[in-house]
Amino acid sequence: MSEGRREAYWQAVALSADIGKRPKRILFDGEPLVLFRSTQGVAALFDRCPHRLVELSTGKVVGGEIECPYHGWRYDGEGRCTAIPGHVGALPHYRVRRFAAIERDGVVFISSGTPKDEPYLHCMQGKDII
């Protein structure tokens, strides 16, 4: 591994039941992230709108997208800007940094990279328990 680069890994960050109709703010490697239910499943984005750096976690989920509370800009689960109220014409290509997110056995795992394996759930997974 080169200096400053780490291998991608999954980190358990929340229970699936905690990701409901409202966004959830977490810290991951010291960075604020927002978790929400998108149309593709649980999404994890950097918790700042690129427009005015407002916390997206203080906004709301609308149609599976996170809406910034300041000016109503919306982002899908991939971090793409999908709506700017009052904007005419083609949308600019604004993005919010996305983190990989997956749900397994009622737990939300995220990663800043692309891990090659599934998250590790339990040492007894797949074994017969006597």
* Total count of domains within the chain: 1
**What CATH number did the domain enclosing 74 receive?**
2.102.10.10
Tell whether 70 is covered by a domain.
yes
Q: pTM here?
A: 0.86
Element (H, E) at 83: strand 81-83
Parent domain of 32: 14-111
pLDDT in tens, 87-121: 999 999 999 999 999 999 999 999 999 998 888 77
CA 90/CA 33 separation, integer angstroms: 28
Give a yes or no: residue 86 inside a domain. yes
- Does residue 48 carry a pLDDT above 60? yes
In a domain, 63, yes or no: yes
Asked if 76 and 46 touch (Cβ cutoff 8 Å), the reply is no
Residue 56 lies in a domain: yes
Please determine, for residue 11, whether its predicted confidence score (pLDDT) is greater than 80. Answer: yes
Asked if residue 5 belongs to a domain, the reply is: no
Decide if 117 is inside a domain: no
Residue 38 located in a structural domain? yes
C-beta contacts of 60-68 below 8 A and 24+ residues apart: 60/22, 60/23, 61/21, 61/22, 61/23, 61/36, 61/37, 63/39, 64/37, 64/38, 64/39, 64/40, 65/38, 65/39, 66/23, 66/34, 66/36, 66/38
Assess if residue 118 is contained within a domain. no
